[in-house]
């Protein structure tokens, strides 16, 4: 039964939706944690330190997250490959002008996200949180410091803005898509969810993007937390 | 007599399934704006016949938008893109003189081109064959009013049952998915008490049959709904998704 | 009765006939049924319902349709509804009343016993369809809803939005696909029957052409069932689908099946008028429109004003004036004929002068736009889509069009034709509607024949007939294939200077003018000559492009039109011989002073069944007299 479900068109899609939903929740959590950056290192560093203190727990969370992530991608790749094959001969004249851009770009925003994620993990997860890159004004500010220093580079700011807007785009289709795929439909609420999905996508992108901009600005005016 | 149009038609010509096709350009003058799109093609075909060419093959029958025979991509849109209109009900008054009209068959691996604009839609029949029915034998039906059906469910069943099987949903879907077609039948029968007994096996078998025939997956873009000449809603797809999940996990199907 | 016609009508009280007859019919043991192969041609309501029923019983069934899917058969286009004597509305309906209304509506030219059985079966049809999931309209309490239709005085019509035919067909189609899945039915789509094959005088198979590959094939069976619909398309323009044709029944006629009442044609009064010479078909607007619309033409034939600018005093509400008590709701044939008369007088409107107004302005003023929108919204939408005119702000234009044909192959009470083993169901037979069909009765007949009559009577034929083993190597099949091939070769070889549609259109015009709504001896004689000449021209000047070995839609049409030519001569001959006016057959010589049809029960109370004499090529008339002990003869009046 499970095998049949995974092999079926709807089953695959629903697993993509469920893993997508888990990733959305992770993103929300990540975003809330990120917003603590605005309150300074004391508030922000609380979380990463807490997580690191769990030791093996961290490994479990990380591998769980990675599994969900790769399942999401793997199943999507399988679906997209089937979709490409399903057309057979391509249209010469098809008019897709009424196709939503977010939807159309799903596989591409997904790929950009994957790349972005690799850079992001390299930037912040794999670095020593109390190492050289965390030192601001001669003092290590932990992960906060890493973030602060990373966004001194305008190139990286641009890269992150691109990354989080891809994420926003991806979510603006993804959220309502999850609802449809898992089979919830309502004449009144479905259109509202579609609007919310779009709104949420934009909100997530803007809030995430505010961080590189904020630190870019901080780097110019100088950090207020450095004595 | 109505106003007249001079048109340039770029029509996909393909001898048979195995040959490769190409666009051929025809000039057609003096087309009455009151003619339907198929009548415009009739006029072209009469001209082609008399000039020794083979007429353009296209499927059609009732020409009043109910049999589901006709259909083609007109300027990139299934059935020409007018709201809730089959190709036979599309009228030439929606075009203007000098227009170039590109006419291409519906395309999907599961619906191979037979000739010119004619495609083989037997895959849709196979999906119905796999479970799109209620297993009642002739003669074994109870008195009709013993089966009461809530009006909202009866209406939902009716709306879903309006599908004419034209395959415009498949043609318009970027993934050539047959989810709208299949869900319309699943929801039509599953919404009714007489069809609920088999609803779980029905949804599993029909979804499976879609894949076997090589249709693509739903990516929730809803272009099918926009192209459907009968206004079948994607809420049917959501309902099918829900029922599929419930059927696969041995849960009772929700209403 | 002609000695060649045995209607096999049971004796006894009419309400017990079918029961006692059924009991007397022979049965076939369930374990033996799969050895019997049944060919069914056509997948409309009659064909699909019969196919499903036979397969469920265990017979081996081969089903043929020319469409790419059996779901597209033309039953799908019926809008209004299906009658049944359920009496759910407690308004006085009964089996007897439905029977009586149908006999009277058919102007006393149908067989009583068949019609009574139809009314009896109507009740079971609704049960069957509901069980299959046909989404009939419902009341808030969950019960089935009914409406009154086509001038009936009781509410006995069941409906599914404006798509009753489609929903009933999808029910029968899905029942059939269930049996295709069980491998009891072999489905042959895109396959057109070209000929019937007789062995030892019994129907034993058919010859078909696959429309995509062009392959000509023989199929043998123990019995053949034709459910191939009517012949409206002899008129070229009709409300029938483009593919509807007379070929199957006509080929059977040429092999010995008698053709009954070919002149009976129903003209529907409310269709969208012809706009130009490119027109390919006509679209019917539901009859219900006449409940609120007022029919009129300008009093002055030179009036070129926009209809909204013509004051009431200068409008001729001809139906209301001529038939004060029924007004706009007179039966289909009267409404149609009167539209023709006013147009013949030059009062017609529109570009062609062949249209009358159907005006909703008064109804909108009286009930409000939203009430009218609720009642007719979807019809107004169809009208606007086709014509580009808005019927809320200006009158619709309508004109009659051919819609249904009551005539067909003659069948006995068992629905078997004069060829043993050839059964004919639905519109393809002549049996239940007499000279005029009531609204919402066609669907009823198709399903009654397929679900509840043929499944009893066909096994009786199989059980009581000596059937030797026959396969397609039999010389009769070989010869029939050769005949079909040489006919196709002939059609392809002419390569003349006129298209098939040119000829079909011309034939249609002749038939519509002289053998349509109103007929006269001189007109019919002219028509006969004209058809003969045109037919000769067809066989020398038609251009059928392409070859026979692939999809060739011109070739398909050419074969059908060639048969329409032959058929139309018989239709005219039948109209010529029937010196009376009844139902859909109106002979100008036989009318009262005020233009009413005058039936001649003394001389024409019979079914005219025509036999083609293979020696002389002449059509020979056989008469099946009709008796009406249960529905006494009466003359209708709508004044």
* Fold assignment, B122-248: Fumarate Reductase Iron-sulfur Protein; Chain B, domain 2 (1.10.1060)
Residue C234 pLDDT class (50, 70, 90 cuts): very high
**B44 has a pLDDT exceeding 70:** yes
Angle between helices B235-248 and B179-190 (to 10 degrees): 70
Same domain as C312, residue C257: no
Which runs of E-coded beta strand occur in B46-177? Answer: 73-74, 77-78, 100-104, 113-115, 118-119
* C251 and C273 co-located in one domain: no
Note the pLDDT of residue A129.
87
CB contact under 8 A, B104 and A87: no
* C210: CB partners within 8 A, 6+ apart: C188, C190, C191, C217
CA torsion, ordered A152, A155, A157, A162, to nearest 10 deg: -170
- Among chain B residues, the shortest Cα distance to A17 is held by B219
Q: Is C199 helix (H, G, I), strand (E, B) or coil?
A: strand
- Quick: pLDDT tens for B120-144: 999 999 999 999 999 999 999 999 9
A103 touches chain B (CB under 8 A): yes
- Show me where the domains of chain B are located: 4-115, 122-248
Asked if pLDDT for residue A226 goes beyond 80, the answer is no
Q: Is the pLDDT of residue C453 over 80?
A: yes
Whether C185 maps to a domain, the answer reads: yes
Q: Which CATH number is C491's domain given? A: 1.20.58.100
Chains touching chain C at 3 or more Cβ pairs under 8 angstroms?
Answer: B
> C252 with C316, same domain?
no
In this complex, does chain C touch chain A, defined as having at least 3 beta-carbon pairs under 8 Å apart? no
To the nearest whole Å, the CA of A194 is away from the closest chain B CA by: 11
Rounded Cα distance between A23 and A18, Å, is 9
Q: Are C612 and C87 in contact (CB under 8 A)?
A: no
- Do the chains contact at A93 and B76, CB–CB below 8 Å? yes
Task: Pick the catalytic residue from C111, C294, C332, C337.
Answer: C332
The verdict on a CB contact (< 8 Å) between B151 and C138 is yes
Count chain A–chain B contacts defined by CB atoms under 8 A: 141
Count, in order, helices (H) and strands (E) of chain B: 9, 7
Judged by a CB distance cut-off of 8 A, whether residue A53 touches chain B is no
In a domain, A47, yes or no: yes
pLDDT in tens, C552-593: 999 999 999 999 999 999 999 999 999 999 999 999 999 988
The answer to whether residue C377 scores a pLDDT higher than 90 is no
From the list C214, C215, C193, C213, the residue with the least C-alpha distance to C205 is C193
Contact present, C586 and C517 (Cβ < 8 Å): yes
Chain B residues with CB under 8 Å of A21 CB are none
**Range picked from A60-69, C64-73, C320-329 for highest mean pLDDT:** C64-73
State both tokens at A49. Answer: 């330190």
C490 and C586 within one domain: yes
Number of domains making up chain C? 3
Domain residues for C318? 268-403
Chains contacting B (3 or more CB pairs within 8 Å): A, C
C57/A61 Cα distance (integer angstroms): 62
Q: Which of A5, A11, A86 sits opposite B108 (nearest CB)?
A: A86
pLDDT of residue B1: 52
Whether residue C614 is contained in a domain is answered as no
The reply to whether C332 belongs to the active site is yes
Nearest CA in chain B to C502: B46
Residue C413 domain-assigned (yes or no): yes
Residue among B46, B121, B137 minimizing CB distance to C68: B121
Q: Give domain status of residue C625, yes or no.
A: no
Alpha-carbon Rg for chain A in angstroms: 20
Give the structural domain span for A128.
2-87+100-221
Task: Say if the Cβ atoms of B220 and A100 lie within 8 Å.
Answer: no
Chosen CATH of B4-115 out of 3.10.20.30, 1.20.1090.10, 3.30.420.40, 3.90.870.10: 3.10.20.30
Q: Is residue C629 part of a domain?
A: no
User: CB distance C177–B151 less than 8 Å?
Assistant: no
Contact C242, C501 (CB under 8 A): no
Give pLDDT tens digits for C39-50.
Answer: 999 999 999 999
> Does residue A52 sit within a domain?
yes
Which residues, numbered 95 to 154 in chain B, qualify as contacts with chain C under a Cβ-Cβ cut-off of 8 Å?
Answer: 114-115, 118, 120-122, 124-125, 128-130, 132-145, 147-151, 154
Spatial strand order of the sheet with C37-41 comes to: C185-188, C60-64, C37-41, C223-226, C422-424
Residue C353 sits in the same domain as residue C231: no
* CATH code, domain with A162: 1.20.1300.10
- C89-140 pLDDT, tens digit per residue, is 999 999 999 999 999 999 999 999 999 999 999 999 999 999 999 999 999 9
What percent of chain C is predicted at pLDDT more than 70? Answer: 100
Q: Confirm whether C290 is domain-assigned.
A: yes
Contact call for B67 and C76, based on CB within 8 A: yes
Say whether both C216 and C235 belong to one domain: yes
Chain A residue with minimum CA distance to B12: A92
Q: What is the tens place of the pLDDT at every residue in B171-230? A: 999 999 999 999 999 999 999 999 999 999 999 999 999 999 999 999 999 999 999 999
Size of interface B-C (CB pairs under 8 A): 224
Task: Please report residues of C whose CB lies closer than 8 A to that of B66.
Answer: 76-77, 163, 166
Cβ distance of B32 and C451 shorter than 8 Å: no
What pLDDT was estimated at residue A138? 86
Domain shared by C32 and C164, yes or no: yes
**Same-domain check for residues C33 and C112:** yes
Are the beta carbons of A85 and B23 separated by less than 8 Å?
Answer: no
The total number of structural domains in chain A stands at 1
Nearest to B145 among C88, C170, C180 (CB): C88
Q: A87 vs B176: CB contact, 8 Å cut-off?
A: yes
Tell me if ipTM is over 0.95: yes
Please indicate, yes or no, whether residues C516 and C410 belong to a single structural domain of this protein: no
Nearest CB among C280, C351, C382 relative to B38 is that of C280
In a domain, A94, yes or no: no
HSE-CB for A202 with a 13 A CA cutoff: 5
Sheet holding C606-612, edge to edge: C408-409, C259-260, C606-612, C619-625
Using a CB cutoff of 8 Å and minimum separation of 24, what contacts does B8-11 make? Answer: B8/B98, B8/B99, B8/B100, B8/B101, B9/B44, B9/B100, B9/B101, B9/B103, B10/A93, B10/B100, B10/B101, B10/B102, B10/B103, B11/B56, B11/B103, B11/B116, B11/B117
Angle at C433 between CA B136 and CA B61, to 5 degrees: 65
- Per-residue pLDDT, A137: 84
- Asked if the C-beta of B89 comes within 8 angstroms of chain C's C-beta atoms, the answer is yes
What distance in Å separates the CA atoms of residue C510 and residue C473, rounded to the nearest whole number? Answer: 43
Contact call for B122 and C189, based on CB within 8 A: yes
Check if B6 contacts C (Cβ < 8 Å).
no
d(CA C168, CA C539): 40
Average pLDDT score over chain C: 95
Among residues C403, C435, C456, the one where a domain terminates is: C403
């Amino acid at each position: 039964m499970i095998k049949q479900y995974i092999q079926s068109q709807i089953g695959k899609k629903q697993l993509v939706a469920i893993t997508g939903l888990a990733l959305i929740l992770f993103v929300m959590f990540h975003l809330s944690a990120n917003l603590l950056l605005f309150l300074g290192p004391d508030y922000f560093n609380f979380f990463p330190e807490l997580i690191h203190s769990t030791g093996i727990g961290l490994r479990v969370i990380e591998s769980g997250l990675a599994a969900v992530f790769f399942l999401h991608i793997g199943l999507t790749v399988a679906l997209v490959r089937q979709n490409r094959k399903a057309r057979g001969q391509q249209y010469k004249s098809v008019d897709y002008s009424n196709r939503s851009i977010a939807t159309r770009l799903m596989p591409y925003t997904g790929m950009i996200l994957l790349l972005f994620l690799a850079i992001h993990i390299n930037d912040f997860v794999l670095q020593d949180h109390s190492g050289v890159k965390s030192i601001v004004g001669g003092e290590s500010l932990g992960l906060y410091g890493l973030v602060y220093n990373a966004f001194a580079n305008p190139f990286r700011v641009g890269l992150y803005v691109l990354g989080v807007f891809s994420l926003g785009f991806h979510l603006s289709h993804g959220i309502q898509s999850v609802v449809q795929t898992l089979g919830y439909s309502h004449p009144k609420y479905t259109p509202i969810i579609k609007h919310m999905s779009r709104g949420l996508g934009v909100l997530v992108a803007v809030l995430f993007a505010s961080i590189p901009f904020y630190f870019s600005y901080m780097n110019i005016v100088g950090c207020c937390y450095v004595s | 007599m109505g106003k007249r149009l001079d048109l340039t038609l770029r029509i996909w010509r393909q001898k048979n399934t195995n040959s490769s096709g190409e666009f051929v350009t025809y000039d057609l003058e003096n087309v009455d704006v009151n003619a339907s799109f198929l009548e415009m093609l009739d006029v072209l075909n009469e001209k082609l016949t008399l000039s020794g060419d083979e007429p353009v093959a296209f499927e059609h029958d009732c020409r009043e938008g109910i049999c589901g025979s006709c259909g083609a991509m007109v300027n990139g849109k299934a059935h020409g893109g007018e709201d809730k209109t089959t190709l036979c009900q599309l009228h030439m008054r929606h075009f203007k003189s000098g227009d170039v009209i590109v006419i291409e068959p519906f395309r999907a691996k599961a619906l191979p081109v037979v000739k010119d604009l004619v495609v083989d839609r037997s895959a849709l029949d196979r999906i119905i064959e796999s479970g799109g029915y209620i297993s009642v034998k002739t003669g074994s039906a109870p008195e009709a009013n013993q089966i009461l059906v809530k009006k909202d469910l009866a209406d939902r069943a009716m709306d879903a049952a309006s599908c004419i099987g034209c395959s415009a949903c498949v043609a318009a879907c970027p993934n050539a998915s047959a989810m709208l077609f299949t869900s319309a039948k699943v929801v039509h029968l599953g919404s009714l008490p007489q069809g609920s007994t088999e609803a779980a096996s029905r949804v599993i078998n029909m979804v499976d049959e879609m894949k076997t025939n090589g249709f693509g997956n739903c990516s929730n873009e809803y272009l099918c709904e926009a192209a459907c000449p009968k206004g079948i809603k994607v809420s049917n797809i959501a309902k099918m998704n829900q029922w599929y999940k419930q059927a696969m996990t041995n849960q009772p199907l929700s209403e | 009765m002609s000695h060649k016609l045995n209607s096999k009508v049971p004796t006894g009280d009419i309400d017990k006939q079918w029961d006692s007859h059924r009991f007397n019919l022979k049965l076939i043991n369930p374990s033996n049924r799969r050895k019997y192969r049944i060919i069914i041609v056509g997948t409309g309501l009659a064909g699909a319902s019969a196919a499903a029923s036979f397969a469920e019983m265990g017979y081996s069934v081969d089903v043929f349709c020319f469409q790419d899917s059996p779901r597209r058969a033309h039953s799908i286009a019926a809008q209004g509804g299906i009658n049944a004597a359920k009496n759910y509305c407690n308004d006085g309906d009964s089996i007897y009343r439905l029977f009586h209304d149908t006999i009277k509506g058919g102007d006393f030219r149908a067989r009583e016993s068949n019609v009574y059985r139809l009314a009896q079966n109507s009740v079971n049809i609704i049960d069957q369809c509901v069980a299959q999931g046909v989404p009939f309209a419902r009341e808030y309490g969950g019960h089935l809803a009914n409406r009154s239709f086509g001038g009936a005085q009781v509410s006995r019509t069941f409906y599914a939005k404006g798509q009753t035919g489609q929903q009933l067909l999808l029910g029968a189609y899905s029942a059939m696909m269930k049996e295709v899945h069980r491998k009891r039915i072999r489905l042959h789509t895109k396959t057109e029957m070209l000929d019937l094959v007789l062995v030892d005088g019994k129907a034993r198979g058919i010859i078909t052409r696959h429309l995509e590959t062009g392959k000509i094939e023989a199929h043998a069976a123990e019995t053949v069932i034709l459910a191939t619909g009517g012949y409206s398309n002899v008129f070229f323009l009709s409300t029938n689908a483009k593919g509807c044709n007379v070929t199957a029944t006509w080929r059977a006629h040429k092999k010995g099946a008698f053709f009954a009442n070919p002149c009976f044609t129903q003209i529907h009064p409310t269709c969208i008028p012809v706009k130009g010479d490119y027109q390919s078909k006509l679209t019917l607007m539901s009859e219900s429109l006449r409940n609120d619309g007022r029919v009129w033409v300008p009093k002055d034939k030179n009036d070129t004003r926009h209809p909204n600018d013509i004051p009431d005093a200068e409008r001729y509400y001809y139906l209301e004036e001529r038939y004060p008590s029924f007004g706009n709701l007179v039966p289909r044939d009267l409404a149609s004929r009167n539209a023709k008369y006013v147009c013949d007088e030059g009062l017609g409107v529109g570009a062609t002068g062949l249209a009358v107004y159907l005006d909703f302005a008064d109804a909108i003023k009286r009930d409000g736009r939203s009430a009218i929108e609720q009642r007719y919204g979807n019809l107004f939408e169809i009208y606007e889509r086709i014509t580009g005119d808005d019927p809320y702000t200006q009158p619709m234009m309508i004109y009659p069009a051919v819609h249904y044909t009551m005539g067909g192959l003659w069948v006995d009470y068992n629905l078997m034709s004069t060829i043993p083993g050839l059964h004919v169901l639905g519109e393809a037979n002549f049996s239940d509607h007499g000279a005029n069909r009531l609204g919402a009765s066609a669907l009823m007949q198709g399903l009654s024949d397929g679900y509840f009559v043929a499944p009893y009577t066909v096994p009786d034929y199989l059980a009581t007939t000596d059937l030797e083993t026959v396969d397609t190597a039999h010389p009769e099949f070989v010869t029939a294939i050769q005949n079909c091939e040489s006919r196709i070769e002939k059609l392809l070889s002419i390569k003349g200077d006129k298209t098939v549609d040119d000829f079909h259109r011309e034939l249609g015009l002749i038939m519509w003018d002289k053998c349509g709504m109103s007929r006269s001896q001189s007109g019919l004689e002219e028509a006969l000559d004209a058809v003969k000449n045109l037919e000769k021209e067809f066989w020398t000047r038609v251009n059928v492009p392409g070859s026979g070995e692939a999809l060739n839609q011109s070739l398909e049409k050419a074969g059908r039109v060639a048969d329409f030519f032959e058929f139309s001569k018989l239709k005219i001959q039948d109209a010529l011989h029937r010196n009376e006016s009844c139902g859909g057959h109106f002979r100008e010589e036989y009318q009262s002073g005020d233009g009413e049809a005058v039936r001649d029960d003394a001389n024409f109370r019979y079914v005219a069944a025509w036999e083609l004499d293979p020696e002389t090529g002449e059509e020979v008339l056989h008469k099946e007299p009709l008796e009406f002990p249960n529905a006494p003869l009466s003359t209708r009046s709508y004044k």
